[in-house]
Amino acid sequence: MKFNTKTIHGGQKHEEATGSVMTPIFQTSTYAQTSPGVNKGYEYSRAANPTRTALENAFASLENGTHGFAFASGLAAIDCVLRTLNPGDEVIAGDDIYGGTYRMFTRLFQKYGLKFQYVNMDEVESVANAVSENTKLIWIETPTNPLMKIADIEAITKTVKSIDSTILVAVDNTFATPYLQLPLNLGADIVMHSATKYLGGHSDLVMGALIVNNADLAKEIHFIQFAAGAIAGPMDSFLALRGIKTLHVRMQRHCENGKTVAEFLANHSKVGEVYYPGFSSHPNHEIAKKQMKDFGGMVSFRLKDESKQTAFSFLENLQVFTLAESLGGVESLVSHPVTMTHASIPEEERLKIGITDSLIRLSVGIEDIEDLLKDLEQALSV
């Protein structure tokens, strides 16, 4: 199937008992057995639930994987990946990652004996030079949150695997979605999503996803998911399935609107630097062109007036853009990384990579573009 067809039909089948076109919500915790250990494939919903199974099959189909897994949140999915490691193992991650990921790395797993290095993944050499005999996982975010850095997934994977083929490469594909980018096709071992964002697409659920194409790795992930219990429930699984069916048409508009908003901001007298991989001036624009179908709906920028007060004034005066955590919904959202998504990162570390008081992150929705531009203009004029 082509991608647009996969979003609707990929990994799916009509419900057998009634022929229901949509997967039903199997709101049950347990399943009848005809004899001890004899069942119809389901025993207890922590291990598997038919609604979640349908969603996990859809995840796998979208990412060209063989196994998909749905978790209670994106962080629960990351937690599962880290649980495949052992004390003393080392993780190499980008220096610009989601604040919640950084918080999990430094405040949870570091005290359990994992070690973390943070490097600028714009350059493949930075990753290669950081690899040691203890390195077991490369954690790539691309585009990054919030500075929209681009990492060359294929080049990093090939380089790392040439050093040690057992090192796992995981890619947080939340910003790009499988509509724009397919990390497994580029050699990655694991794809992670905060399905709360674009996959769900309607700001009405919290969920995480992992997709792999290795049976042994899938078996380990399933065991951790079952043993730790951070599963997605049937209602949220139903909502995510519904959201995925329009992913392709939503992403088309997100990309169109994102490009127009980025260009508007780049030409505005009160705006400084604009972070958008679709610009030829972006340091890794050519890599973005190579591995992404388009450039997405996420745009970050700085105000020329670098005071927090000016940033707050802009944020408080927006009327169509909603000031809120998260991203990827049909509605346009705006956030202030310093006080919201990246507040858990120490100020010294934020400033090193450029997350300052004047930095604004936009999740450009699918509204009429004229309304979005007017809203930005009036808020910038206040």
- Which residues are catalytic, by number? 46, 98, 172, 197
Strand partners, 190: 170, 212
| Distance of alpha carbon 266 from alpha carbon 37, whole angstroms | 63
Instruction: State phi, psi for 360 to the nearest 5 degrees.
Output: -120, 140
Q: Which of 72, 48, 69, 47 is nearest to 58 (CA)?
A: 69
Q: Which single residue is written with the structure tokens 């219990």?
A: 229
Q: How far apart are CA 209 and CA 191, in angstroms?
A: 8
Spatial CB neighbours of 367, under 8 Å, sequence gap ≥ 6: 257, 320, 331, 332
For 42, residues 6+ apart whose C-beta sits below 8 A from its C-beta are 31, 48, 49, 50
* 265 close to 303: Cβ distance less than 8 angstroms: no
The DSSP string of 99-129 is: HHHHHIIIIIGGGGT-EEEEE-TTSHHHHHH
**Contact yes or no for 332/363 (Cβ under 8 A):** yes
d(CA 112, CA 334): 35
Amino acid found at 312: F
> Using CA of residue 115, residue 71, residue 178, residue 217, what is the dihedral sign?
positive
Distance CA 105, CA 47 (A): 27
Look at residue 291 and give its three-state secondary structure.
helix
**Are the CB atoms for 306 and 313 separated by under 8 Å?**
no
* Residue pair 26/49 in contact by the 8 Å Cβ criterion: yes
Comparing CA positions, the residue from 238, 235, 232 lying closest to residue 48 is 232
Stated as kind and residue range, the H or E segment containing 371 is helix 369-381
Rg of the chain in Å (alpha carbons):
21
